Structure formats: structure tokens, C-alpha cells
Homo-oligomer: A and B are copies of this chain.
């Protein structure tokens, strides 16, 4: 197993893509052929979501480097949903996609160890559920340390929330500090420290940052603060971020940032251009990959 950032670099180079497809399965939004089953109860809804996500994996695998299952949508279906999550993650890995579990976990050390075990450590004889996980910094260094340890020991990756894509993030992340900076910039400094000794062969760390593509100026500033962190950039598509604004994220190399889109890809069929939901998702991914590759300028 190679370093997480080098696994990203390999996938980006092979596929000429920096796109991550977010898997946000919502029973009410599934294609009609699956929606009928989803109304029969949680177990059926979870099975329908798994089939949907596996179909998306097949469709986007040539054009995406990773999938990003959003844990919340699986958790909303209870234990059946988590079984679906496990199935989808295993399926994506078999399709040679990286898996980034979007879980945004954060807790005190002893608990964070359990979260690291849940998401990025080997599950007994099974591979880890995911290659990387998103992490929340509010509880500070000891809450993040178990994930950093998994990066070191199990070649996992992590993406710490720095500046999120939603408007409300400003309530906390944009608060002005006594030294004139704002909170997310302080968090960026912490992320740099956490990842400083986990740099891969390509010069990029296993400890990355989530920075909203909805805030292009902040993306550029975050890159200045975090020259060696891989960026995970959500907010393109349904949330309004534009690939053409993201060039500054890629100044550390073509594999130094990943652009993630969820609803605009997996539910592309709902906009009606393409009837087949798989073909619509594949087409939307190929299109986004092309746009991002051009914006990255490598």
C-alpha cells in the first residue's frame, strides 16, 4: 500500500481527472425503477440506495478518481443503511476507485480512536471501509491524532474541515481573532502542523483540508497557508461553485486538489438531458473532469 497522496496522484495521472463523485442517496430522489422499492420500508430503501450507488460507481469509474459516500444519508436508514454503505464502499474499491468517507467526525481521543477504527483502519481481515475520512477540528489536536496515526500506520488519508462550502460556516469559521486573522486560517495552521511529517513521494501530505469551492478567494488563501495539503473542494454544482475559479487550488500540482460534486452528478438524469440515470451521471462526471482539468492548467 502506497502513501494516500501518492495513490491520489496515480489515479489523477491515469484518468486525467481530479473529480470525486459524492454519493448522497436519498430514497425520494432515486430513479423511478428503484423508487418503487424504496417505499416498502427501510430495509428495501437501503437495498435500493445500494443498487443506485453501485450503478453510479459503474458509470463514473472511468472519469472519477474517487467516490465520497456521505455517511449521513446511509445513517438515515439505520443499520440497513450502514450495511448498504459497506457494500457500496467495497464495490467502489473493487472498481479501483478511492473511497473518501464523508463523516466529519470529531471527538475526544478515546472516542476518536473508535471513529478511526470505523472508517480508515482494517476491519479484522477486511480492508478499511475507506481510504480517507473527513474530520472536524473543533475538539483540537487530541481529537484528530487517532486519524493522523492511521495516516502514518495504515496509509490512510484525512481531510480536516477548514472553510466549509455553506454560508452558515461564517458564523464560526470567519470569526475575527485577536491577531487579525480569522478562525479558519488558524485551523489551517493546525492542519499544516498535523500533516507536516506525513508528506508522500509527490510532495503532498496525507493530511488534507476541506475548502469550499463556493469561496474562491479563500481557496487561494488556504493554498498559500497549506502548500502541501491535498484539498477536497466541495460546493461545485448544486451549491454554485465554478471549476474555472479553482485554479489556485492546483498550484501545488495536478493532484494537489480534488473537486467533489454530488447532487449535480448522481441526479443529473433529473434535469432531463439524458433519460438513463447511469449515462447521465457518467456524462456529467466526464464533463466536470474536463472542466476541472482545464482549470487546473497542468
List chain A positions with a Cβ less than 8 A from chain B.
24, 26, 41-42, 70, 72-73, 75-76, 78-80, 82-83, 85-86, 104-112, 114-115, 117-118, 123-124, 129, 136-145, 161, 164-173, 175-178, 180, 183, 186-187, 190, 239
Closest Cβ of chain B to A211, distance in Å, is 13
- Which interface residue of A75, A178, A183 has the most chain B CB atoms within 10 A? A75
Q: Check A137–B139 contact: CB distance below 8 A.
A: no
Q: Check B176–A72 contact: CB distance below 8 A.
A: no
Report how far A111 CA is from B70 CA in the complex, Å: 8
Across the two chains, which residue of chain B brings its CB closest to A107? B104
Q: Which residues of B contact A111 (CB under 8 A)?
A: 24, 70, 72-73
Q: Which residues of B contact A82 (CB under 8 A)?
A: 75, 78-79, 82
Report how far A78 CA is from B124 CA in the complex, Å: 11
Across the two chains, which residue of chain B brings its CB closest to A161? B138
In the A-B complex, the 4 residue pairs with the closest CB atoms: A140-B171, A140-B168, A142-B168, A72-B114
Q: Check A79–B79 contact: CB distance below 8 A.
A: yes
Q: Which residues of B contact A144 (CB under 8 A)?
A: 168
Closest Cβ of chain B to A238, distance in Å, is 8
Q: Check B177–A186 contact: CB distance below 8 A.
A: no
Partner of A177, one of B70, B137, B178: B178
Q: Check A143–B118 contact: CB distance below 8 A.
A: no
Q: Check B173–A138 contact: CB distance below 8 A.
A: yes
Report how far A143 CA is from B173 CA in the complex, Å: 13
Report how far A164 CA is from B169 CA in the complex, Å: 20
Q: Check B177–A115 contact: CB distance below 8 A.
A: no
Closest Cβ of chain B to A192, distance in Å, is 13
Q: Check A139–B168 contact: CB distance below 8 A.
A: yes
- Which interface residue of A129, A165, A168 has the most chain B CB atoms within 10 A? A168
Q: Which residues of B contact A166 (CB under 8 A)?
A: 108-109, 139-140, 142-143
A-B contact pairs, 28 of them (CB 8 A): A70-B114, A73-B111, A76-B114, A76-B117, A78-B118, A78-B129, A79-B79, A79-B83, A82-B82, A104-B136, A106-B138, A109-B168, A136-B136, A136-B138, A138-B138, A138-B164, A138-B172, A139-B169, A139-B172, A140-B169, A140-B173, A141-B171, A142-B166, A143-B166, A145-B168, A172-B190, A175-B183, A178-B180
Closest Cβ of chain B to A98, distance in Å, is 20
Partner of A42, one of B124, B141, B164: B124
Q: Which residues of B contact A145 (CB under 8 A)?
A: 168
Partner of A112, one of B72, B83, B183: B72
Q: Check A186–B175 contact: CB distance below 8 A.
A: yes
Q: Check A139–B167 contact: CB distance below 8 A.
A: no
- Which interface residue of A109, A114, A176 has the most chain B CB atoms within 10 A? A114
Closest Cβ of chain B to A80, distance in Å, is 8
Report how far A178 CA is from B105 CA in the complex, Å: 28
